[in-house]
Structure 1
C-alpha cells in the first residue's frame, strides 16, 4: 500500500508515528510511506519585504525541522519513506496530495484543544476530511 503521512512536528505527529510503529498488523514493511509537511505561507503583507530566496530558505528550514525526526523514526523502523514539503493552504494541500498522488490511505494526527467548535477534531483535520476522497486514519 502507498501511505501518505501528514506531519507537522507536533506531539500528535509523534503519536501517529508511534501508532504506525506499534501496529505492524496494519502497517507492515511492504508499504511505501510518504511524509508530507505543508508549511502555511507567510502573509502577503510580509512577503513584500522579504526576497524570494530568503522566503524559500525559511520554508525549507521549517519543513526540515519537521521532516528530520520523521526520517529518523522511519530508518529505525525500516520503513520505505519519501519526505516532501509544500507551501500553501495546509488542509487543502494535504487532501489534494492524498487524492491526486495515488495514495491508498492518508494517516494524520488530530488534536482536541481548540475552541468548542473544534473540540473533537482540529480545524485542519476537519477540513482534510471534508476534501479528501481517500480513506483517512486519524490518530489521537
Structure 2
C-alpha cells in the first residue's frame, strides 16, 4: 500500500506516529511511505526584501526540521520513507499531493477542534476532507 503521512511537527503528528507504531498493519516495511509537510508562505513583502535563494533555503530548513525527526522515527521501525514538502496552504497541498501521488491512504493527526471552532477558524483537516479523493485516516 502507498501511504502518505501528513505532518506539521506538532504533538498531533507525534500522536499519529505513536498510533501507527501500535498498529502493525499500518506501520510495516511492506508499505511505501511518503512523509509530507506544507511550509507556510512568507509574506510577499518579506520575500521581496531578500534574495530568492535565501527564501528557498529558509523553506528547506524549516521543512527539514519537521521531516527529519519523523524520517528518523520511521527508520528505527525499519521503514525508509521518502520525504516531500511544498510551500502554501496546508489543506489544499495535502489533498493535491495525496491525489496526484496516487496514494492508497492519507494519515494525519488532527487537533480535534469542535465544529464551532472549525466554522470560525477553518481547519486543515476540514480542507483535506473536502478536497481529497484518497481515503483519510485521522488520528485524534
TM-score past 0.5 threshold: yes
Structure 2 portions without partners, runs of 5+: none
- Cα RMSD (Å): 1.7
Instruction: Give the Å deviation of 1:26.
Output: 3.4
2:92 is equivalent to residue 86 of structure 1: no
Number of the residue aligned with 1:15: 15
Matching residue of 2:2: 2
Note if contact 2:99-2:132 (Cα within 8 Å) is conserved in structure 1. Answer: yes
SS at match of 1:80: coil
Task: Tell whether the 8 Å contact from 2:71 to 2:80 is kept in structure 1 after alignment.
Answer: no
Query: Which residue matches 2:110?
Result: 110
Alignment of 1:1-140 (within 5 A): 1-113=1-113, 116-118=116-118, 123-140=123-140
The alignment covers a number of residue pairs equal to 138
Residue deviations 1:82-105, cap 9 Å, x none? Answer: 011111121111100101101001
Unaligned runs of 5+ in 1: none
Q: Distance in 1 between matches of 2:36 and 2:91?
A: 12
CA contact under 8 A between 2:3 and 2:103: conserved in structure 1? yes
Per the TM alignment, residue 115 of structure 1 is displaced from its structure 2 partner at its CA by 8.7
- Paired with 1:137 and 1:69, the residues of 2 have a C-alpha distance of 21
State the alpha-carbon separation in 2 of the partners of residues 103 and 80 from structure 1.
17
> Does the 8 A contact of 1:3 with 1:106 survive in 2?
yes
CA distance, structure 2, for counterparts of residue 109 and residue 93 of structure 1 = 16
Contact 2:105 2:136 in 1 (8 A): yes
Cα distance in structure 1, aligned partners of 2:100 and 2:127: 17
Q: Which moved more, 1:128-137 or 1:16-25?
A: 16-25
